[in-house]
Amino acid sequence: MKRKWKLWLIPVVAVLAFGVMKGGSLWGKSETKQDLPVQTVATRAVAKVKVENALALTGSIEAYHQAVISAKVSGRVSKVTVENGDQVAAGQPLVLLETQDFVNTLAMSQAALKKAETGLTTARADFQRYQELHKQGAISQKEFEGAEAALKMAEADASSAAAAAASAQEALQNATISSPISGLVANRNVTTGQMVSPQGAPLMTVEDISAVYVVVNIEQKDLAKVKPGLKADVTVDAYGDKKFNGVVEVINPVANKGARVFETKIKVDNPEKLLKPGMFAKVQVKTGEAVDALTVPQAALTTKQGMYFVFVPEGNKVKRVQVEIGQIIDQSVEIKKGLTEGQQVVITNVNKLKDQDMVKIAN
């Protein structure tokens, strides 16, 4: 009986061994690498394109000319003539102060001046008369010196009164606060009835934005590339890909102590006033002639731990290749190192791929 059981077991063992050798099992065929899903991907050739030899920067926009409007005298506001966004001309009144106190002060100063001038006239006449008498020996030296001192005092009084009258006149004029430049009113911070003073906060600003500055910071390593007169392209998010033409105009010769960068101003004509102070801007400063650069679509790139990679087809597999990237050019990116012109790179499903994965290239 025991011998029969062993004879029955031999065919079963043989079947199991045959299944293992063929890569199968009693319950079905086992999965092999060839049976794993194959990604279908599209590819694109590494292309050489002409690109501007430019320095990519970011910055903010400020007015070409700005005037901070403050009170020169203390007083109560009787009228504010402008609102934010109003266009004003140089010399146009912006804020009016109550003037009665200034008028009264001026009247008293003018009266004091008139009195001082009358006293000066009398003192001069007395001095001239005493001078003649002194020459004739009719009066003493002391009397003559007294007339001379009285004249000097009268001259000082008249000069002081004239200065006081001029100050009162200027204070009355400063009760009307005017714009020193033409531009747009911004940051208005004053209302009717408010007390203002020279030590108080600014009342508003007037911004001349017929041209603007784009203010950027140049790192020390790039400073030698940037000089006044270089052309620049400026874009802002508000207007998409619209480019504004600028020129490097001002370079601060001293680095910022904290960041060790050099503030640089790029002048941009702004006749339509599309560019506004405070806007964020992207700048390409053209530092030389256009050069050839290798590029791939941005979709070809994948990143890991701060490094960039692309997948290059090799037969029915892909190889992950590390690359060094440069500037962004429209929807492509410059490749400085790692690829050659004409190489194919995968541009779809790159985030699902691993090195040596099997792929199928889409036609």
pLDDT for 330:
79
Contact 105, 244 (CB under 8 A): no
**Average pLDDT, rounded, for the chain:** 89
- Tell me, what DSSP letter sits at residue 155? H
Q: Which residues pair with 59 in a beta bridge?
A: 216, 281
Phi-psi region of 14 (alpha: psi -120 to 50; beta: other; left: phi over 0): alpha
Q: Inform me whether the pLDDT recorded for 2 exceeds 50.
A: no
Instruction: Please name each of the domains of the chain with its CATH number.
Output: 39-51+292-361 (2.40.420.20), 57-64+206-290 (2.40.30.170), 71-91+182-202 (no CATH), 99-174 (1.10.287.470)
Q: Inform me whether the pLDDT recorded for 221 exceeds 80.
A: yes
CA distances (Å), origin 51, targets 248, 284, 327: 20, 11, 10
pLDDT for 115:
96
* Closest among 188, 196, 199, 214 to 267, alpha carbons compared: 214
pLDDT for 7:
44
C-alpha 77/C-alpha 329 separation (Å) is 55
pLDDT for 50:
83
pLDDT digits (tens, 9 = 90+) for 30-85: 444 455 678 899 999 999 988 777 888 999 999 999 999 999 999 999 999 999 99
Helix (H, G, I), strand (E, B) or coil at 284: strand
- Band (pLDDT 50/70/90 cuts) for residue 158 is very high
**φ and ψ of 234, to 5 deg:** -120, 135
Name the pairing type of β-strands 39-41 and 359-361.
parallel
pLDDT for 39:
86
Contact 277, 207 (CB under 8 A): yes
Helix (H, G, I), strand (E, B) or coil at 325: strand
Contact 332, 283 (CB under 8 A): no
Q: Side chain identity at 26, as an amino acid letter?
A: L
Q: Is the pTM of this model over 0.75?
A: no
pLDDT average, residue stretch 136-142: 91
pLDDT digits (tens, 9 = 90+) for 287-325: 887 788 899 999 999 999 999 999 999 989 999 999 999
C-alpha 59/C-alpha 55 separation (Å) is 13
**Helix-strand-coil split of the chain, %, nearest 5:** 30, 40, 30
Provide the sign of the torsion angle of the four alpha carbons 330, 335, 341, 342, taken in this order. negative
